[in-house]
Amino acid sequence: MTDIFSAVQLGDLTLANRIVMAPMTRCRAGAQDEPTPEIAEYYRQRAGAGLIVSEGVQPSIHGKGYYRTPGIHDPFQIEAWRTVNHGVHAAGGRIVMQLMHCGRASAEANKAPGAETVAPSAIASRHALYTPAGMAAPPVPRALETHEIAGVIEEFVQASVNAREAGFDGVELHCTSGYLPMQFLATGTNRRSDRYGGSPQNRARFVVEALEAMAAAIGAGRVGFRISPGSPYNDMQDDEPVETYRALLQATDRLGLAYVHVINVPIPSLDPLPFVRGNWNGPVIGNNELTLESAGRLLATGLVDAVSFGRLFISNPDLVERFRCGEALTEPDRRTFYAGDALGYTDYPTLEARMPA
């Protein structure tokens, strides 16, 4: 049986254990979309994870969709991320940056002046987003011209280079939750008639080309991607998820990427983890509402090489140590998940902090 506390190699990434901190939007970036000292402390506290995947980070001003999410497209942001990574590495951790271009899942009030909302097709999402002025409907996005797509891919490439410059160990391309890569993949949001639309292979082309270019820039062994086949989040619909994700996985399998990160939510036509294993030969990280016990059972199946936890890491910064010692877990306060200050962010105590002097 695979030991959850054993080391594992994901591409060029050496993990001290198989417990991954999943990416989680927390909406606490600074005025210039930079990570603050509080964000640096938040990640440092959780460096016991075998790997931290950061919150979604916009690769350009056009990629931002949510309130107070950070970027990696400005020198000030790059410098601020260096502080984050120094703290994680000094504590013995590893961290990759999740690159998140929201595409049509954007609120204009959250974007910088001059930033556009773009997507594969001019189809608006019906999923409202939070803004400082309240909930707002996303605008109708501008459909990207074929000749513009290479420029969007270059945004991901430059963001990957910037992430490495800032000290990240690698990057993860966010291809789920209804964001731009998934918008290209899904039939409901991609009505294109050029080489990026129509067949499953064409709809997968944008993601494949982005991953190819990112791998060429920083090394395939430092690039992963996250998927959730058939997820309806952010008003998504795909009429043929089996064909879509078979095309994506088989095309990316040859690239030698670090991992695929799978949100394991079965749908009537597809059981994600067995499906991924049948179409992908590289490392797999499994995710979705796991406990220590269910994660152990999942590792024992051989369907995954590592497992990721989200909310448990919010309220248990020393989650790995608590798992190792069999200690009780602290329940997270959902009221403090998004925005705010240290409350519900960096103030959850560790076991060590709770011990009497």
Q: CB count, 10 Å around CB of 71? A: 25
344: left (phi over 0), alpha (psi -120 to 50) or beta: left
Catalytic annotation present for 233: no
Which position among 42, 66, 179, 259 bears the catalytic label? 179
Which of 225, 244, 232 lies closest to 285, judged by CA? 225
Residues 95 and 167: their CA atoms lie apart, in Å, by 9
Burial 286-308 (b: 16+ CB within 10 A, else e): bbbebebeebbebbeeebbbbbb
Which amino acids are annotated catalytic?
Answer: 179
